Amino acid sequence: MTTTPLLQVKNLRVEFPTRHGTLLALDDISFDISAGEILGVVGESGAGKSLTGASIIGLLEPPGRIAGGEIRLDGQRIDNLPPAALRKVRGRRIGAIFQDPLTSLNPLYTVGRQLVETIQTHLPMGGAEARRRAIQLLKDTGIPAAEARIDHYPHQFSGGMRQRVVIALALAAEPQLIVADEPTTALDVSIQAQIITLLKRLCREKGAAVMLVTHDMGVIAETCDRVAVMYAGRIAEIGPVQEVIHAPAHPYTAGLMGSIPSIEDDRERLSQIDGSMPRLNAIPRGCAFNPRCPRVFDRCRVERPELLDAGRTRAACWLHAEQPLRRAA
């Protein structure tokens, strides 16, 4: 018996109108995440990772707009909801964790007040019960002496502790989906490991789905079940994380993996991908990666590939055109 994925993104297109024409920032993005699954989204800066997360949360910065496709949460379409209805979904059913916790926390209020307000906005609880839940959330996210720290202000917490408070806020209403945008980037390695462990535990215990946006393949390898590799506003490859890391099917993914140092490798120099990602107003014809690709051939320069079957993963690369197509990963 097949179950419907918790999150379904189908043919998502995001545009930015400008004086010089419309820029296509996300081009035909499709993926899904099941309950209890962590999907990593990785790629260079400007690939469209954070934009994908913002589109799902409903926090696209104007003049950006969803120009096509649809986003479904537990079968319900949410991309076309009016702002007030989307706000209720965002707090109650979707939790968001951002890179900089100071952008998510109000410096004028104690973390307890912010947690209690969030809980009472979305759950039918009185003040005392909401405070008890807030203290438990702080404990669950690993904040020591939660009963005392709940009345502290954000500036009284370290960076790692503030990020835990943000995670507690994101979990306040027991959301079905958590969109985590670079949640460990500003933290040192030991705190990163604790946050990763926390996300995995929440996924396992609460059955939430997590979309983890990051540029750190180490975090992806440690945390995720599957990974989507993005390039120039499209998905270049998607599949089980170990397959994508150890047997990449797209030349861009292979280049990303080759640029990561390994303790078993005695190379003096890491491999690199020549060139840089194209600007939105200068995306080349055919496959967007073709000017940088070491395996480019004529078809790549004129025809854009869709995601094709590539063993256990799917890759938008004509190298796999001979293989039969199958349902999206």
Q: How confident is the model at residue 3 (pLDDT cuts 50, 70, 90)?
A: confident
Rounded to whole angstroms, how far apart are CA atoms 157 and 178? 23
Parallel, antiparallel or unpaired: strands 38-42 and 226-231: parallel
Q: Provide the pLDDT for residue 326.
A: 42
- Beta strand 313-315 with 65-73 is unpaired
Q: Convert the pLDDT of each residue in 210-223 to its tens digit.
A: 999 998 888 898 89
- Structure confidence by residue, pLDDT tens digits, 263-283: 666 666 667 788 899 998 999
Domain enclosing residue 224, as ranges: 7-93+175-320
Residue-wise pLDDT tens digits, 37-69: 999 999 988 899 999 999 999 999 889 999 999
The mean pLDDT of 65-90, rounded to a whole number, is 93
DSSP sequence for 143-184: -TTHHHHTTS-GGGS-HHHHHHHHHHHHTTT--SEEEEESTT
The pLDDT, as a whole number, for residue 1 is: 42
Pairing of strands 234-240, 76-77: unpaired
Does 158 fall in a domain?
Answer: no
| Residue 252 forms part of a structural domain | yes
Residue 224 structure tokens? 């995720």
Q: Residues of the chain with pLDDT > 70: what percent?
A: 94
Sign of CA dihedral 290, 296, 301, 305: negative
Residue 291 lies in a domain: yes
Let me know if residue 157 belongs to a domain. Answer: no
| pLDDT tens digits, 229-266 | 999 999 999 999 999 999 999 999 999 888 776 666 66
Please check whether residue 272 lies inside any domain of the structure: yes
Task: Give the pLDDT confidence score for residue 264 in this predicted structure.
Answer: 66
Determine what percent of the chain is predicted with pLDDT higher than 90: 65
User: Residue 280: inside a domain, yes or no?
Assistant: yes
Q: Is residue 199 part of a domain?
A: yes
- C-alpha R_g of the chain: 21
Beta-carbon contacts of residue 283 (< 8 Å; ≥ 6 apart): 24, 232, 233
Please report the pLDDT score of residue 125 as a whole number. 93
Mean pLDDT estimate for the chain: 90
Neighbours of 245 (CB within 10 A): 18
Report d(CA 215, CA 313) in Å as an integer.
20
The model's confidence at residue 177, banded by pLDDT at 50, 70 and 90, is very high
Q: Is the pLDDT of residue 329 over 50?
A: no
Strands 226-231 and 234-240: antiparallel
Q: Structurally, how many domains does the chain consist of?
A: 1
Average pLDDT over residues 63-82: 95
Residue with tokens 């396992």: 204
Domain assignment of residue 268, yes or no: yes
- Whether the per-residue pLDDT at 188 is higher than 90: the answer is no
Tokens of 172: 């306040």
Q: Report the CATH number that the domain containing residue 33 is assigned in CATH.
A: 3.40.50.300
In the block, tokens 């926090």 appear at: 59
Residue 100: what pLDDT?
81
